[in-house]
Amino acid sequence: MNIGQGRRTLRFAVKIGLATCRGQQQLVWIGLVSLAVWTTQGRAFALCPLSQTDPSVTVCTPIPNSVVSSPTHVVAGTTDSHPVVAVQIYVDNVLVYKVNAMSVDTYVKLSVGNHLLTVQGWDNTGATFKKNVTVAMTPPCALSSKNPSVTICTPGTSATVSLPVHLVGGTTDTNGVQSVQVLVDGKSAYQNSSGTFDVYLTNLPPGSHSLNVTAKDTAGITYSATRSIKVTSNSGLSKLRHIIFYVLENRSFDNYFGMLGRYRVSKGLSNSIDGVPLNTTLYDKTGNAVHPFHFQTVCHENLSPFWNESHVDVNGGKMERFMKTALPSTIDPGGTWAMGYYDQTDLPYYYELATQFATSDRFFSSVLTYTNPNRMYLFAGTSFGHIRNDSPPAGGWTQPTIFDKLDQAGVSWRYYYQDNGSYLPQWSTYQRDDSKMFSISRWYTDLQNEATLPSVIFIERPGPSGLDEHPGENIQLGAANTKKIIDALMNSPSWASSVFILTYDEGGGLYDHVIPATMIKPDNTAPLLQSGDQSGDFAHAGFRIPVIVVSPWVKPHYVSHTWRDLTSILRLIEMRFNVPSLSARDATADNMMELFDFSTPHWLIPPTFPPQPTNGTCNNNLEKAPGT
């Protein structure tokens, strides 16, 4: 059918449909109806119901506030008592497409970020009418520049993963993508009509598997990407009799480990780290161009990692407003200290620890906001709506915690505090289990008897003591304190059967260049937004954070690129000790088995580590970027 025939068929179908369905004598031209019709491009597709407002534009796709790929598919129709002669598409108030028809079905290119998409109709009287739709062109990760191509974001190449397998990626294609199909071992497992894919694959038996993602675009071109993975059987996990986790404060991956790749190269290892991009140029509050820079001080002012500021920092995937949301400062009015980073000269112990044992450059905080909601995920697998450091009710939060689940399963646990800054008293768990809280001084003696050491141990960060590495504190003092805690484990009888997980609760408002990962919502509770809050959801993680997994049983020098968040720690505990999950988030989290090799203990005799200096210059006046 040629274009002219397509247009006549469309109008005929609409006229008859209106006369029959509405029973009205006046003819109202409708550009699209809820049935399959031919467009002016001569293609058939299923369309959406249109508004009966006269005149009006109905945008069928994309839906408001959705995350879209580029080019994004725009389908819209019009309702008008006069013939519609043209439909236009504007992106951020700039005309990008026009068709002399009463409907539109096309693909529009969008840059990364938030956009206002406007579809405007014209009729033969000269009247215009429009519909605005706000969308975000946020790719799931940094996509290949090759055109066309498929990029698989997670799992990492040759990764060992647990079920369900989270497969995420996107396409690069100047044509619109018509379909994406996922094949597991040659059999179709998932299909959609988007330029991105985000699916949890289940029912894969333990062992090796091939994941193939094939896309087809509007020009009929097909292209694909393949990833080999291994689904873990969890064999050997019983060799871990003690899981210890220690979560410090407010550091992004780029801020702490952005230079870890270069350090690995200096040790004869591969630079397999997605580190800080030194050539990135962002602009501070005063308009100065700023690159990531090496801090000249081991302490600096606090920033603003709150819900609103964090969502502004992401800016639809641009990852470029960290300086603009920094707290007001007389020392650094431009907020440039958000772009500072540390390296092995500042944190030699952490750099060597991460190099000798296992780490990941795709480990995220659980929610895009600040401390307490993330620590809620750490304890409960959900923040049950909270996005702020809200005060608990009398008796504490009643949401079940991992400690409650351990109690119910008869699994021993202990909570060591280092000062009076404990978080557990904000939970009702504390009312039942306060007897399981001990001073850190007990840690050093308890380690000497492996048989009585609890199965799960949480070590509270020393906030009031200034050793939690929070912005405002001396990071070297905090790192030296961590070394003391880990050294005690390594030199104890408990070392051979333990894993120590060191990480941070959130990014602290410090720059990180990687887009937050998508995750399963923990539950059906929506964010407790207040008037004026940034829109957001619990289907995304927060920023990347440093993580080091320390054990005789980890793969030496290993770097994972598979997406995880804080709830992966919960999943590891749950899998090891047969404990039920707390929410949909931890139930679907990867259990971190990729980082272990239970065939042999590689580090029964721990490597030697450099001392952690504590004499670095701590002076907030030195926090500014050079030249600003």
Residues 590-605 pLDDT 10s? 999 999 999 999 999 9
Task: Return the structure tokens found at 594.
Answer: 């990729």
Residue 213 is encoded by which pair of tokens? 């993602």
d(CA 274, CA 442): 38
CA angle 270/274/276 to nearest 5° reads: 115
- pLDDT of 15 over the 60 cut: no
Q: Which of 259, 263, 173 is nearest to 220 (CA)?
A: 173
CA distances to 59, 194, 267, 478, 510 from 111, rounded to whole Å, are 20, 17, 39, 41, 24
| SS3 per residue for 528-566 | CCCCCCCCCCCCECCCECCEEEECCCECCCEEECCCEEC
List pLDDT tens digits, range 178-223: 999 999 999 999 999 999 999 999 999 999 999 999 999 999 999 9
State how far the Cα of 597 lies from the Cα of 209, in Å rounded to an integer: 19
The residue type at 188: S
Residue for token pair 């998508």 = 518
From residue 36, give the alpha-carbon distance in Å to each of 32, 42, 48: 9, 12, 10
pLDDT of 23 reads 33
Alpha carbon distance 101, 121 (integer Å): 9
Band the pLDDT of 46: cuts 50, 70, 90. very low
144 contacts 172 by C-beta, under 8 angstroms? yes
Please tell me the predicted confidence (pLDDT) of residue 433.
Answer: 98
179 within 8 A of 188, measured Cβ to Cβ:
no
Strand, helix or coil for residue 321: coil
Backbone angles phi, psi at 336, to 5 degrees: -70, -20
Tell me: pLDDT of 301 over 90: yes
What distance in Å separates the CA atoms of residue 576 and residue 499, rounded to the nearest whole number?
12
**Rounded distance between C-alpha atoms, residue 544 and residue 364, angstroms:** 4
The answer to whether 89 and 118 have CB atoms below 8 angstroms apart is: yes
Beta strand segments in 389-490, E: 413-417, 437-439, 456-459
* Token pair belonging to 66: 């959705």
Nearest to 573 by CA among 374, 380, 436, 444: 380
d(CA 12, CA 53) in angstroms, rounded, equals 21
Q: Which of 24-28, 324-328, 445-449 has the lowest mean pLDDT?
A: 24-28
| pLDDT given for residue 526 in this prediction | 97
Query: Residue 586 and residue 580: Cα distance in Å, rounded?
Result: 10
Q: Which residues of 419-449 are buried (b: 16+ CB within 10 A; e: fewer)?
A: beebbbebbbbbeebeebbeebeebeebbee
pLDDT confidence band for 143 (50 / 70 / 90): very high
Task: Tell whether the model's pLDDT for residue 89 goes beyond 50.
Answer: yes
How do residues 389-437 score in pLDDT, each as one tens digit?
999 999 999 999 999 999 999 999 999 999 999 999 999 999 999 999 9
* Backbone CA torsion sign across 536, 540, 546, 549: positive
Range of lowest pLDDT (47-56, 382-391, 433-442): 47-56
Specify the residue for token string 């119910």: 408
Does the structure show a pLDDT above 70 at 468?
A: yes
**Which residue from 306, 308, 305 is spatially nearest to 338, judged by alpha carbons?**
305
Q: Which domains does the chain have, with CATH numbers?
A: 3-137 (2.60.40.10), 149-231 (2.60.40.10), 237-253+346-603 (3.40.720.10)
pLDDT-based confidence at 47, cuts 50/70/90?
Answer: confident
In the block, residue with structure tokens 């009643």 = 398
Please give the Cα distance from 184 to 226 (Å, whole number): 10
Model pTM? 0.92
Residue whose tokens read 């697998």: 381
Q: Angle at CA 541, nearest 5°, toward 536 and 544?
A: 130
* % the chain with pLDDT above 70: 93
